[in-house]
Structure 1
Amino acid sequence: MADDAIDRGRRGFLRGRPASGPAPIHPPWSRPDYFTSLCTRCGACADACPEAILRPGDGGYPEVDFTRGECSFCGACADACAAPIFDRTAIPWALRATVTDDCLSVRRVVCRSCQDACPEGAIRFQPAPGGAAHARIDEFACTGCGACVAACPAGAVTLDHQTGSPAHAVR
């Protein structure tokens, strides 16, 4: 097969599952345009990750699981990979945190776990009428590290691929 890209719609149909859902998040600096065609699925990146957030995903390709913790952008995954998948000269990824209506603060429960966990200070809570505070993400400060995802007790924080998002370097 000339094109090794995964057809998620076909795979979902054959497995009896819907094709909807977010695209998987591959390791930082990996190049999504040809990740699946060059990745050998050897697991070297996952073995090298000191945060242990990489796991085999659909088709055996490494995916980031932010429920396990945050990405420290150490680069160990890129250094361990023998395939030319990673581009360390680019930004790690265009991920930004989003907070859903499942947030405890929306339900008037005082919780600032995501704000406390964010190393960049990209999450702030803004008071709203009626006493509920709503999380606001500073898209220029958010690096997409995922620290907020693991910290959220309600599972209300997700990281999404962004297009046209601010390009900034991770410190």
Structure 2
Amino acid sequence: MNKLASRRAFLKGKVSRNDQTSIRPPGADADEFLDLCTRCDECREACPEDIIKFDSQGWPVVQLDAGPCTFCGDCASACPTGALNPEQVEAWPWRAKVAASCLSMNGVSCRICQDNCEHGAIRFRLQTGGRAEPVLDADTCTGCGACASACPAGSVSFERHTPPTNEVTL
């Protein structure tokens, strides 16, 4: 977006706060969450895993390195404004991603992420030189964060995943 367009949007009160990199609580609609959320703290209070924190601007975010999400839906059920939709909890768009700082990729024997993944979404492919490369199955990964909270190197992050469409092109 050019500077003129962003200034025009600002003056019209249409400032884009849609941050696609912040992990919002389960049930958050990326387009409507910031408009509906009042930062009331109900979602954080309701979270039994204590993984909902607040970012520097006071918006709720999920910190998966603090522990895994069980997708229980308590945060969405507690939301009084509809910013978190209990029916959308299972539509979690985040999937794990492993950085080059992974111990196994650097020759240190480590499989903690694989051991903590209940869904079997992480496997290791042996490489030369005693290294092993983690292979993530995005279709199997739920984005729960069990791998991230267990990783001793902090090498697991999360990125938005959009499943492929089943459209047939002619």
Question: Considering the TM-score relative to the shorter chain, is it more than 0.5?
Answer: yes
What is residue 124 of structure 1 aligned with on the other side? 123
Separation of aligned partners in 2, 1:80 and 1:6:
23
In the TM superposition, 1:46-85 aligns within 5 A as 46-85=44-83
SS at match of 1:55: strand
SS at match of 1:67: helix
> Identical aligned pairs, as a percentage?
42
Task: Give the residue type in structure 1 aligned to 2:148.
Answer: V
1:20-77 Cα distance to aligned partner (Å, 9 max, x none): xx71100011111011111000110000000000001132110011121010000000
1:64-116 Cα distance to aligned partner (Å, 9 max, x none): 11121010000000011001122333333211111111000011100011111
Normalised to the residue count of structure 1, the TM-score between the two structures is 0.82
Separation of aligned partners in 2, 1:114 and 1:6:
33
Separation of aligned partners in 2, 1:39 and 1:7:
13
Structure with max Cα Rg:
2
Separation of aligned partners in 2, 1:156 and 1:41:
30
Q: Is the 8 A contact 1:139 1:165 kept in 2?
A: no
Most deviating of 137-146 and 124-133: 124-133
What is residue 14 of structure 1 aligned with on the other side? none
Most deviating of 71-80 and 123-132: 123-132
Separation of aligned partners in 1, 2:13 and 2:73:
30
Task: Give the residue type in structure 2 aligned to 1:31.
Answer: D
Separation of aligned partners in 2, 1:56 and 1:66:
13
Change (3 A) 1:133 1:7: closer
What is residue 139 of structure 1 aligned with on the other side? 138
In the TM superposition, 1:13-162 aligns within 5 A as 23-90=21-88, 91-162=90-161
Q: Which residues of structure 1 form unaligned runs of 5+?
A: 9-21, 167-171
Task: Give the residue type in structure 1 aligned to 2:31.
Answer: D
Q: Is the 8 A contact 2:125 2:133 kept in 1?
A: yes
Separation of aligned partners in 1, 2:32 and 2:73:
19
SS at match of 1:103: coil
SS at match of 1:89: helix
Q: Is the 8 A contact 2:77 2:85 kept in 1?
A: no
Q: What is the RMSD of the two structures over their aligned residues, measured on CA atoms?
A: 1.9
Normalised to the residue count of structure 2, the TM-score between the two structures is 0.83
Task: Kindly tell me the number of residue pairs found equivalent between the two proteins.
Answer: 153
Between structures 1 and 2, the one with greater helix share: 2
SS at match of 1:31: coil
1:4 Cα offset (Å): 5.8
Task: Give the residue type in structure 2 aligned to 1:3.
Answer: K
Q: Is the 8 A contact 1:122 1:137 kept in 2?
A: yes
Separation of aligned partners in 2, 1:86 and 1:41:
12
